[in-house]
A and B are shown apart, each in its own frame.
Chain A
């Protein structure tokens, strides 16, 4: 095999197999650093061995057993490694292509441990990207615009706490599962959203988040919410390319629908249908259902706002939040008329629950503009502009402000 082909095969295996190899090695040795180091070495060995012998039929098994052998060598040199060595003997001695069943998939244990609530939330995110997705510390640091040494420290502190505080390497028992699964989904969704606001990156976080959500769906086939989250991500991703134009935010209404990715929309809708078929609604399924309404509307005017307002009402009931209320207000305005929506926005503004959130005045401004109350819209756009967090938001709001006319 030629070198570029082997390199491509190793890179593909890295994306597909990294998490599983690390997860198995942690299960066998209980040592996170050793597991990562030996997995890294196995991928390095693959580059030379696969060029000589060809790419194995099951690269994952080859990599796992090679990494396991490296770990055995290291533990032999280390007298305290004796107990761990006994567990390692459970795998076959040489990388072979037969009987794949003997290597257990430990990724579910890994993901629940990475997302354990005793770890700080940012560490859960970083650790998931490092150990499960195989991103380097540098890649994670760049994705979150934070310095690399700090990110490295965050990851190593988390690994140390897992070891020293006795965080178990396991899938939580069934009575704790709903709560803990919600924590895992929150980590994956944060990774997705972090990537959603960004222009193209070398390893886009949205793509990593979707890959991780797919893994979770495979590992927990009976749970509807991982499917709901995967569908939500696919539907959002389908329109990522149209969200910004020359660094200015483009609203859903104004996005070029011909550029939405139809394949992602079709898959998102299919995955959502599978989830809804399980008849256990959850917040991600509802959000995906809302996203599907938008994604399948032929144009902005044909959007089924009555359905969307109903879905937001369901969402507000099972996962109450002022942001959901604000979105419901927009849907009600579109379904029942601007005054009904404005009344909901004003009721929300009279509490202090969304103080400082730029989308509250921005939403109010948009509704006032649609109602032709331009002077009031102007005041609200100005308030929103002062609170907007990103340049893309500010550019969009400044454009709207010009549209509603000069101060009178």
Chain B
């Protein structure tokens, strides 16, 4: 099954790319992904200050700054991965450093 993992935190004291690359939890997570295989696509997202949200209402396109939802945690990265089942996706999610500082949401993909 395909899952998207939405990797979230509140962006307070977010690590830089360099800090993340040096984080042993993060490198262990990447190594684990390598061993499992099945990664379809992944990426870290720039912070929400760079986000733009689009809504079309009554045929009019509304463009606004920032993320759509006023939540505490923002999506900061994503991973699309092929897993045997939800339990494997949970294992991958639990290994990401952001699971400790923020949260990781697992969403099965329509197939």
Contact = CB atoms under 8 A, between A and B. Distances in A.
A164 B108 contact: yes
A278 interface: no
Contacts of B83: 166
Contacts of A83: none
A118 B106 CA distance: 10
A207 interface: no
A178 to B, nearest CB: 15
Contacts of B3: 166
B38 to A, nearest CB: 13
B1 to A, nearest CB: 4
B85 to A, nearest CB: 4
Interface in B74-111: 83-87, 89-90, 106, 108
A263 interface: no
B85 A168 contact: yes
A165 B89 CA distance: 10
Tell me what chain B mostly uses at the interface: helix, strand, loop, or mixed. Answer: mixed
A167 interface: yes
Interface string A162-186: 0011111000100010000000000
A374 to B, nearest CB: 50
A64 B10 CA distance: 52
Contacts of B90: 118
Nearest to B108: A165
Nearest to B1: A166
Interface residues of B, number: 11
A127 to B, nearest CB: 16
Tell me what chain A mostly uses at the interface: helix, strand, loop, or mixed. Answer: loop
A71 B106 CA distance: 33
Contacts of A116: 86
B94 to A, nearest CB: 11
Contacts of B106: 165
Interface in A162-215: 164-168, 172, 176
Contact of B108 (A166, A168, A172, A176): A166
A118 B3 CA distance: 14
A12 B89 CA distance: 41
A166 B108 CA distance: 8
A223 to B, nearest CB: 20
A168 B89 CA distance: 11
B81 to A, nearest CB: 12
The interface centre, meaning the residue of B1, B83, B86, B106 with most chain A CB atoms within 10 A of its CB, is B86
Nearest to B85: A168
A325 to B, nearest CB: 29
A164 B83 CA distance: 13
Nearest to B107: A165
Interface string B1-19: 1010000000000000000
A176 B1 CA distance: 21
B25 to A, nearest CB: 19
A166 B1 CA distance: 7
A165 B109 CA distance: 9
Contacts of B86: 116, 118, 165-168
B40 to A, nearest CB: 15
Contacts of B108: 164-166
A168 B88 CA distance: 10
Contacts of B84: 168
A167 B89 CA distance: 10
A172 B89 CA distance: 14
11 contacts: A165-B86, A165-B106, A166-B1, A166-B3, A166-B89, A167-B86, A168-B84, A168-B85, A168-B86, A168-B87, A176-B87
Interface of B: 1, 3, 83-87, 89-90, 106, 108
Given A118-B90, A167-B86, 11 more contacts: A116-B86, A118-B86, A165-B86, A165-B108, A166-B1, A166-B85, A166-B86, A166-B89, A166-B108, A168-B84, A168-B87
Interface of A: 116, 118, 164-168, 172, 176
Give 9 nearest A-B pairs by CB, closest first: A168-B85, A166-B1, A166-B85, A166-B86, A165-B108, A167-B86, A165-B86, A168-B87, A164-B108
